């Protein structure tokens, strides 16, 4: 996970041993997402490996960062729901059934901070 999270933080030149770089992995994922967006469908379900979902979401959703994704593994059949577009950007709405707070509005668990505690 160290390599895929480095990709999500922007170090896309790193390469998996014997495999692709972050630039290649994100490019491949972005291309499939863009193809789905161009289809005109209102809702699209995409199936992928949990590590790839976590990496791409941390790299592309404005309200999910690497610490958030690293702390929340996805079980088999785990679901992350996003809204947005390649042109406008992405926002995660839920992560494995839990609501994800909008960017700048949540604490480390995606819940509002209680600054009085």
pLDDT digits (tens, 9 = 90+) for 33-49: 999 999 999 999 999 99
Alpha-carbon distance of 115 to 10, in angstroms, equals 31
The whole-number pLDDT of residue 103 equals 76
CA–CA dist 41, 5 (Å, integer):
30
Q: How confident is the model at residue 87 (pLDDT cuts 50, 70, 90)?
A: very high
* pLDDT given at position 42: 92
Q: Where are the domains of the chain?
A: 2-99
Residues with Cβ within 8 Å of 41's Cβ and at least 6 positions away in sequence, in order, are none
Give the mean model confidence (pLDDT) for residues 40-64. 95
Rounded to two decimals, the pTM is 0.85
d(CA 113, CA 51): 28
Of 46-60, 68-82, 101-115, minimum mean pLDDT range: 101-115
Instruction: Determine the Cα–Cα distance for residues 64 and 90; give it in Å rounded to an integer.
Output: 10
Quick one: average pLDDT of 26-32? 97
The mean predicted confidence, pLDDT, of the chain is 90
């Amino acid at each position: 996970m160290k390599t895929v999270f480095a990709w999500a933080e922007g170090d896309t030149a790193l390469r998996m041993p014997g495999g692709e770089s972050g630039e290649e992995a994100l490019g491949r994922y972005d291309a499939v997402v863009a193809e789905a967006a161009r289809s005109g469908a209102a809702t699209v379900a995409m199936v992928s490996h949990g590590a790839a979902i976590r990496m791409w979401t941390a790299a592309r959703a404005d309200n999910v960062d690497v610490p958030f994704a690293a702390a929340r593994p996805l079980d088999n059949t785990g679901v992350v729901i996003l809204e947005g577009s390649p042109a406008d950007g992405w926002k995660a709405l839920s992560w494995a059934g839990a609501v994800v707070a909008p960017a700048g509005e949540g604490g480390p668990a995606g819940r509002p901070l209680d600054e009085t505690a």
